[in-house]
Structure 1
Amino acid sequence: MLKKLLGAAGAVLCTAAALATTQASAADPIKIGAVLAVTGPVAYIGDPEAKTLEMLVEQLNAKGGLLGRPVKLIVYDDGGDAAMARGHAVRLVESDKVDAIIGASTSGSSLAMIPLAERGETPMISLAGAEGIVLPVKKWAFKTPQTDRMMVLRVFEDLKSRGLTKIALITGADGFGKSGRDITVEIAQANGITVLLDEVFFPKDVDMGAQLAKVRANADVQAVFVIGAGPGPAILTKNYRQLGMTLPLYQSHGVASQSFLDMAGPAAEGVRLPASAMLVAEDLPAYDGQKPVSLQYIQAYQAKYGKVPSPFGGYAYDAFHLLADAIRRANSVDHAKVRDALEETRNLSGTGGIFNMSAQDHLGLDLTAFRIAEARGGAWRLAGTGK
């Protein structure tokens, strides 16, 4: 009889312990790691991304969290340095044991992190532009920004619509610039564009006069196409106007922000680039499905931080919503289930486009995700409009 009582008591204790463990597990936070360039030469990219993620986590936790659990955000600053990003990725996967990773801000850092995410079988959503992040497809790596190939094709479309087919190409020596340069040279001829000059600038260059002198010396050049991030493109734009150059000047989505306009000043007037819808959200027609999503994000960010976010912050906004949506549909933070759910994303409206992912496409955007923006009066406006 005593043995039966002890056995029953033991069973009750075991059940209570199991329940307590389950409850504790349910209360454990869902951990999302982020590696961002919060400081350094591309802080204009990483800072709004960090602020956006912090805002979204705060909003979500105020509503009860995700799957009934709070969300914990762990942010590491890589300063735009790929080696530092790799170290942070090791820490997130092996020490922090995060459920997913968002980042990095730059292409070089993202490419350095991917092997760690793959090895740790941890879903990773990059906020960088290089198509090499998702092509060829990596099992655990996804991204939100439109690719550099898409960016180049969209610029080509706009050039040809203006009767411009002969260009000078000037690209940064960083990962983003190199990738964009290679793609431009690869696909130009097939798309009716002739690259007459192919020049490079380096991250610490403070003057681009030498490169621009070669452009001025070539009478056949009809437009200039610059691909880069950081202060370089703004320096080049200033030099461009100082030299009295008037050829149409195109930049990439690597500088699609107010920060570029602030750095370049009046010299940016007339510059065009392909950008996410949110950069020109106010100019979008009412029927555009991305207008309400973009305006909602802009208003929330402005209310919290007192300024308008950049499309770079929008990349983080989209990544967080993609991840939260996948976790809800998976009803789990099991890495494999979340990864599979990301691949099954359909018709998710973001600031950067409408996402439709698959096993063969870990971005899920097409060229309609890009709008051509033009700098007018110190602001980005939708090209072709009178606004």
Structure 2
Amino acid sequence: MRKIIVLLTCLLIIASPLLAADTIKLGAFFDLSGRASFIGTPTKLVAEMVVEKINSEGGINGKMLELEIGDTEANPAKAASIAKKFIYKDKVVAIVGPTLTDTGMNVKKIADQAKIPIVMTVGGDPVIMGGKFGSFEWIFKSPQRNGTAVERLLIYLKEKGMTKIALMTGTDGFGKDGARWVKKLAPQYGIELVAEESFGTRDTDMTAQLTKVKNQNPQAIVAWTTGPAGSIIAKNKVQLGIELPLFQCHGLPDPKYIELAGAASEGDRMPATKLMVANELPDSDPQKEVSLEFIKLYKEKGYDKQFPINTHSGYAWDAIMMIANAIKKVGTEPQALRKEIENTKNYIGISGTYNLTAEDHNGLGVDSMVIVQVKDGKFVMAE
């Protein structure tokens, strides 16, 4: 009996690394609790959905993908701790997430120093900017850059003959990054910034800022924030009787925005991924088929009942697909994997067609975005 036990133990010891070798671990951390959980939780579900799809189709070169899940809790320190666990304990080959720009910035240096590729699902640009923002050699992101979304909105404003705008931004990293891009790019489109106000992302009243903005006689108000703050601005604007058009950022095309703002959201416009209006896309748009298939799978899972499709929905899908495509070609050796992700070309994703370079670790242009508006309580292509 003892010999049998010893033999079984030896077989288990031999088999353990072989079993481990049959899986490829990815770290995936999002706001599953905290102020951005309404984004982070469905992002996690999509991450699991795409991994299930990849594994059901045979995995990657015969190996199954495995996710190590973490909750950042909208806490930069927590995000840093989880990133270190992923890298040094779980031995992941790459990381996906987090949800917020500020938490992403707290992880940026960790991933870069550890030389582990990370494809972030944050909106702000500093995570993939160098100079004072630190090295981004190992950092990528799947959502459009703030700068790309700002430029798409400015193009639309120019087309509509709007030359004077007021800007309202959150005081977090995402809001500050948006303000930086608006001020940098607006002059290139002949647009003047006549007023600038800021607010805390947890503030519950923006009437003071809106009153100041109105007094400067802009032709439109541009707000750059995520979460409930955007809906509060919409409601406060209506309460004050301000009839100026309101433009939000690319982080707010979400049925939750309409739910929170109610009738006050009617007519509001904002840049968004094409996913939001997939049915309205021409058949010639290569994203239409991809987006409709994603929506079908998402609904089959039943996720839409609690988390309706929004502009964030495809971020984790695209991030994991770019990593998986790179692993298929070069395996999991860190430097080779990083380089292959950077060489991603013509990947038709949920959020756009990605063409990355050493200088651009996002790879999406203004043509990946559309302007949507709220009409009869739903998002449609803006007129």
TM-score scaled by length of structure 2: 0.92
Deviation at 1:25, TM superposition (A): 5.1
CA distance in 1, matches of 2:13, 2:300: 44
Could you say which residue in structure 2 is the equivalent of 1:44?
Answer: 38
* 2:380 corresponds to 1:352: no
Could you say which residue in structure 1 is the equivalent of 2:57?
Answer: 63
Identity of aligned residues (%): 35
Conservation of the 8 A alpha-carbon contact between 2:201 and 2:225: no
Q: Which amino acid is the alignment partner of residue 370 of structure 1? A: M
Q: Which one of 13, 22, 30 corresponds to residue 24 of structure 2?
A: 30
Q: Which one of 165, 172, 188 corresponds to residue 163 of structure 2?
A: 165
CA distance in 2, matches of 1:102, 1:192: 38
Conservation of the 8 A alpha-carbon contact between 1:127 and 1:315: yes
User: Which residues of structure 1 form unaligned runs of 5+?
Assistant: 1-15
Deviation at 1:42, TM superposition (A): 1.3
* 2:313 corresponds to 1:318: no
Q: Deviations over 1:185-232 (max 9, x none)?
A: 2232232111111100102211111001112222x3100000001211
* 2:243 corresponds to 1:249: no
Deviation at 1:64, TM superposition (A): 2.6
CA distance in 1, matches of 2:20, 2:83: 25
Highest Rg: 1 or 2?
Answer: 1
Could you say which residue in structure 2 is the equivalent of 1:222?
Answer: 219
1:1-387 aligned at under 5 Å gives the runs 23-24=18-19, 26-27=21-22, 29-136=23-130, 138-218=136-216, 220-307=217-304, 308-330=308-330, 332-384=331-383
Could you say which residue in structure 1 is the equivalent of 2:4?
Answer: none
Conservation of the 8 A alpha-carbon contact between 1:48 and 1:309: no
CA distance in 2, matches of 1:87, 1:352: 29
CA distance in 1, matches of 2:17, 2:37: 41
Conservation of the 8 A alpha-carbon contact between 1:110 and 1:133: yes
CA distance in 2, matches of 1:91, 1:238: 42
CA distance in 1, matches of 2:65, 2:350: 22
Cα RMSD after superposing both structures:
1.8
Deviation at 1:338, TM superposition (A): 1.1
Instruction: Classify 1:349/1:238 alpha carbon distance in 2 versus 1 (closer, same or farther; 3 Å).
Output: same
TM-score scaled by length of structure 1: 0.91
User: Which residues of structure 2 form unaligned runs of 5+?
Assistant: 1-10
Q: Deviations over 1:139-188 (max 9, x none)?
A: 10001111111111111111111111101100001110011112212232
CA distance in 2, matches of 1:17, 1:230: 49
Moved more, 220-229 or 137-146: 137-146
Q: Deviations over 1:110-132 (max 9, x none)?
A: 11111111111111001112111
3-state SS, counterpart of residue 312 of structure 2: helix
Q: Which amino acid is the alignment partner of residue 131 of structure 1? A: D
Q: Deviations over 1:332-373 (max 9, x none)?
A: 111111111111111000111111112222111111011111
CA distance in 2, matches of 1:25, 1:202: 46
Q: Deviations over 1:82-137 (max 9, x none)?
A: 22211111111111111100011111111111111111111100111211111226
3-state SS, counterpart of residue 101 of structure 1: strand
Number of residue equivalences: 366
CA distance in 2, matches of 1:151, 1:211: 23
CA distance in 2, matches of 1:270, 1:20: 61
Instruction: Classify 1:20/1:232 alpha carbon distance in 2 versus 1 (closer, same or farther; 3 Å).
Output: closer
Moved more, 187-196 or 318-327: 187-196
